[in-house]
């Protein structure tokens, strides 16, 4: 499956996190730059996806953006059902959890 993702800033409501504040040393930065510039969808190992989710949640918290409560393990298990976790699908699922205020 090869898909090009929209930049995370296009996926999030305008009144949420400012992705311009993302630290270049963040684990999210490389992934988001890859997606932003039209990189192909990536497949992640479960440990990589779990780290991505942790970084995403921490960044949202620092930006004052609420996420709906979710079970990380159950979510990753559902995304991993195909045998792989696709970055684009993971970003889409996380964006759904962002609470627009």
In a domain, 79, yes or no: yes
pLDDT at 78: 87
Report how far Cα 93 is from the mean position of its chain's Cα atoms: 8
Please give the tally of structural domains in the chain: 1
pLDDT value at 77 more than 50 = yes
- Assigned domain for 71 exists: yes
Quote the domain boundaries for residue 71: 8-97
Measure Cα distances from 96 to 22, 36, 37, 40, 43 in Å: 20, 19, 22, 21, 20
Report the pLDDT value the prediction gives residue 53, as an integer from 0 to 100.
92
Taking only the tens place, the pLDDT of each residue in 38-56 is 778 889 998 999 999 999 8
Residue 10 confidence (pLDDT): 55
Beta bridge partners of 4: 40
| Average pLDDT of the chain, as a whole number | 78
Is residue 31 domain-resident? yes
């Amino acid at each position: 499956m090869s898909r090009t993702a929209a930049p995370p800033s296009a996926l999030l409501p305008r009144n949420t996190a400012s992705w311009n504040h993302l630290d270049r040393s963040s684990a999210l930065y490389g992934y988001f730059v890859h997606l932003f510039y039209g990189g192909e969808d990536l497949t992640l190992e479960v440990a990589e996806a779990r780290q991505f989710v942790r970084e995403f949640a921490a960044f949202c918290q620092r930006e004052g953006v609420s996420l709906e409560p979710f079970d990380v393990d159950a979510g990753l298990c559902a995304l991993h059902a195909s045998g792989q976790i696709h970055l684009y699908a993971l970003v889409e699922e996380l964006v759904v959890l962002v609470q627009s205020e």
